[in-house]
């Protein structure tokens, strides 16, 4: 179910981050830079979703300030000095995609 580009609504649902927060983070973090299509809608790629998951972990779960999260991303210290997180951001994203698919499937049944 992988796609090249995702809409802001799809990314919001996958990551549990509200669209207005995604747009705000885009203004603060250089690492988050979704392209816009001809209609002006944001199109998120896999790397953007990975950054969003890292930001969510830092800001919402670990309670970093936006300045602290920015520094952590720049320093590459997003995992608090651990070698690797238990579950990679890509794995979390894939699991959320599967969950979304299963919810839609169960509603269709």
By the 8 A CB rule, do 25 and 104 touch?
no
Q: How far apart are CA 42 and CA 44, in angstroms?
A: 6
By the 8 A CB rule, do 5 and 44 touch?
yes
Domain covering 8-108 assigned CATH 1.10.3470 in the classification: no
User: Which pLDDT score is estimated for 86?
Assistant: 62
- Give backbone dihedrals phi and psi of 5, rounded to 5 degrees, phi first: -135, 145
Give the distance from CA 65 to its chain's centroid: 17
User: Which pLDDT score is estimated for 80?
Assistant: 47
E strands of the chain, at which residues? 35-36, 42-43
- Quote the tokens at residue 71: 């520094």
42 three-class SS: strand
Element (H, E) at 35: strand 35-36
Per domain, the residue ranges of the chain are 8-108
Task: Give the max Cα distance, the chain.
Answer: 47
pLDDT tens for the 109 residues of the chain, in order: 578 899 999 999 999 999 999 999 999 999 999 999 999 999 999 999 999 999 999 999 899 999 999 988 888 754 444 444 567 778 888 888 898 999 999 999 8
């Amino acid at each position: 179910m992988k796609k090249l580009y995702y809409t802001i609504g799809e990314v919001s649902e996958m990551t549990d981050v509200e669209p207005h927060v995604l747009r705000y983070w885009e203004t603060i973090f250089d690492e988050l830079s979704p392209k816009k299509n001809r209609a002006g809608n944001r199109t998120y790629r896999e790397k953007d979703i990975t950054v969003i998951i890292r930001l969510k972990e830092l800001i919402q779960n670990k309670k970093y300030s936006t300045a602290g999260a920015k520094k952590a991303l720049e320093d590459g210290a997003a995992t608090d000095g651990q070698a690797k997180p238990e579950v990679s951001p890509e794995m979390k994203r894939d699991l959320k995609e599967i969950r979304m698919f299963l919810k839609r499937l169960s509603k269709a049944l």
